[in-house]
A and B are shown apart, each in its own frame.
Chain A
Amino acid sequence: MAEKILLWMTVNGEARSAEVFPMARLLDVIREDWGLTGTKEGCGEGECGACSVILDGVLVNACLIPAVQAQGGELLTVEGLARKGELDPLQEAFLHHGGAQCGFCTPGMLMAGTHLLAQGGPGDEAEARAGLAGNLCRCTGYNRIVDAVLAARREHP
């Protein structure tokens, strides 16, 4: 039996900690220890993007990060997007364009979209499609997700 570590991070602007095994997946820490179940597991192999979060400014799949490698990190999850109960502009754009259907890929899509916007993109539809290609959706055919991200960039540059 391995020894647990005390993992501490800044999560959505707040300090949080958890006693976890070093090889626990960050995804499980987020969901089980911190109860932030907005981050989803769709495949567990870094393929679907449902567990996308932003760690130290980098978009990552939380299912591929061992807890020990997140020590001291700054984490943004879907729960950190809205401010005081108000959806952020990207979330609003998803709502109005119909970018969420079943909703299960949505948190990961929002994090990928947030990352693209933070990088100053996407400049056009092709860039949006390439940028979101690590996040699989089975409901929408992607039109409305792409439109939402482009609209958020246009309306809140």
Chain B
Amino acid sequence: MRGQPSACEVHTPETLAGALAFRAGNPDWRPLAGGTDLMVPFAAGRLGDQRFLNLWGLRELKGILASEDAVLIGALASYRAIAAHPVIQARLPNLVASARATGALAIQGRGTLGGNLVNGSPAADSPPSLLVYEAEVELASVRGGRWIPYAAFHTGYRANAMAPDELLTCIRVPLPPEGGVHYFRKVGTRQAQAIAKLSLAGWALPRQGRLAEIRLALGSVAPVPVRALHAETVLRGAPLSALPLSAAREALQADIAPIDDLRSSARYRRRVAGNLLEEALAALI
């Protein structure tokens, strides 16, 4: 344990309103949710922050609410709760798959979706699923709340669109039309407790022999989780009997910018991203 608890102050608000009021005056206090991301660098002595805004007790942020057209996920909902939710299981299976691919049981019971998004790792497991479902996130402050597309949330490596006084409070995931096909795959060397080498989520709507709609997103292939818009453009509207596989693979390469790091190589990530795209498309036919 190389962290220094004696040097660390924690503020624990009772309510969301209290949290926002505190945040307005103390924007440099680091929001702390389930701790599964932050406690790792803290214990390793690598976290610069010494002041924390402890959000864990805020019940307002823990719920999951399904309506006719969307699911609202409180920022502090755990992966376990997400994976167990019947509407998410029925309509947003990629979110279930990505939640179950995160860490292992003990992480899934504690880690929160909101915390994970704010932590901003490009290798996180849920972002590709949220991108393909075109989720939105609510950013709240004493000035009020605002919704932005999740696709606009990450602005660079571990940087995001939150103003200094804002907290991420809710994730809204619109339910895609029924009849679509969902695909999620994480490649992580081992089955559990792995950080992704890359991941790919997809959703497609085949209609009258054509790919009426397709959305693709990847993790661990760029400084932020990315939507594969070039590949989607090539594929959208194509006949299912003759999908332009190689053109889509080629277009996908323009969507990603992988690097060599401890966990994999740029070459591997590029090659396997293309392979997973093929696998995802094969799942549609």
Direct contact of A and B (CB under 8 A): yes
Interface residues in chain A, defined as those with a beta carbon under 8 Å from any beta carbon in chain B: 1-3, 20-25, 28, 41, 44-47, 49, 52, 58-61, 63-66, 68-69, 112, 115, 130-131, 133-136
Give B residues with C-beta under 8 Å from A: 1, 3, 5-10, 12, 32, 35-36, 39-40, 42-44, 52, 54, 56-57, 80, 103-107, 109-110, 191-193
Q: Can you show 5 pairs from A to B with CB atoms below 8 A apart?
A: A21-B5, A21-B8, A25-B3, A44-B44, A133-B193
Given contacts A46-B103, A112-B106, contact A23 B5 (CB under 8 A): yes
Most buried by A among B35, B36, B42, B106: B106
**Closest beta carbon of chain B to A47's beta carbon, Å:** 6
**Contact assessment for A134 and B8 in the assembled complex, using a CB-CB cutoff below 8 Å:** no
State in angstroms the CA–CA spacing of A22 and B53 once bound together.
11
Residue pair B6, A115 in contact (C-beta under 8 Å): no
Beta-carbon contact of B6 and A1 below 8 Å: yes
Do A25 and B39 contact each other (CB < 8 Å), given the known contacts A2-B8, A60-B110, A68-B10?
yes
B123 to chain A, nearest CB (A): 15
A22 to B57, CA, bound (A): 14
B6 engages A2 (CB within 8 Å): yes
Chain B residues, Cβ within 8 Å of A2? 5-10
How far apart sit A64 and B104, CA to CA, in the bound complex (Å)?
14
Q: Which residues of B contact A64 (CB under 8 A)?
A: 35-36, 39-40, 110
Once the chains bind, are B193 and A47 in contact (CB under 8 Å)? yes
Q: How far is the CA of A20 from the CA of B57 in the complex (A)?
A: 19
Partner of B192, one of A3, A24, A61, A130: A130
Residues of chain A lying within 8 A (CB to CB) of residue B8: 2, 21-23
What residue of chain A has the Cβ atom nearest to residue B42's Cβ? A23
Measured in the bound complex, the distance between the Cα atoms of B235 and A29 in whole Å is 55
A136 vs B105: C-alpha distance in the bound complex, in angstroms? 13
Nearest CB to that of A27 among chain B residues?
B1
Q: Tell me how far the C-beta of A50 lies from the nearest C-beta in chain B, rounded to whole angstroms.
A: 11
